[in-house]
Amino acid sequence: MNVDFTTIARGSESGYQSASQMVIDNSEEWIDLWQQHTSNAEPPPPVPQVDFTRYSVVVVFTGEQPTGGYSVEILSAETSVSQTQQQLAITVEHRQPEAGDFVTEALTYPYHIIRIPKIDGKVVFKHI
């Protein structure tokens, strides 16, 4: 079953420079991650408010890319129940520039951050 989600932030200039994917379900982790993510912005934007009693945050960072033209997008979130455990499958698409594309000649750090309804169960990331 498809799960609706809301994009909190998406782009190519994150201060979080490691490739990573995670689910955050509490304010302390969220504030820490947001501060790392916005550490390259002056002044840093305020932390978006998330009610962690109702929602979780899903984050995908690609890490350092050699040029512009790279991106990441969370395409879908789907729940399923296998035996007694609920599972959430997050489908993530990675894009890279084609040969001959005009791109920014600078390091980039693509990311996508979404808010989803809270889930109790396993989260699986599928990369395409």
Q: Is residue 49 part of a domain?
A: yes
Counted domains in the chain: 1
State the chain's mean pLDDT as an integer: 93
Q: Which of 37, 1, 19 is nearest to 117 (CA)?
A: 1
Distance of CA 75 to the CA centre of its chain: 11
Q: Is residue 98 part of a domain?
A: yes
Coil, strand or helix: which one is 3?
A: coil
Q: Is residue 26 part of a domain?
A: yes
d(CA 34, CA 18): 14
User: Tokens representing 90?
Assistant: 């997050």
Query: For 62-87, what is each residue's pLDDT tens digit?
Result: 999 999 999 999 999 998 877 777 88
Predicted model pTM: 0.93
What is the span of the domain harbouring residue 79?
6-127
Does residue 43 have a cis bond before it (omega within 30 degrees)? Answer: yes
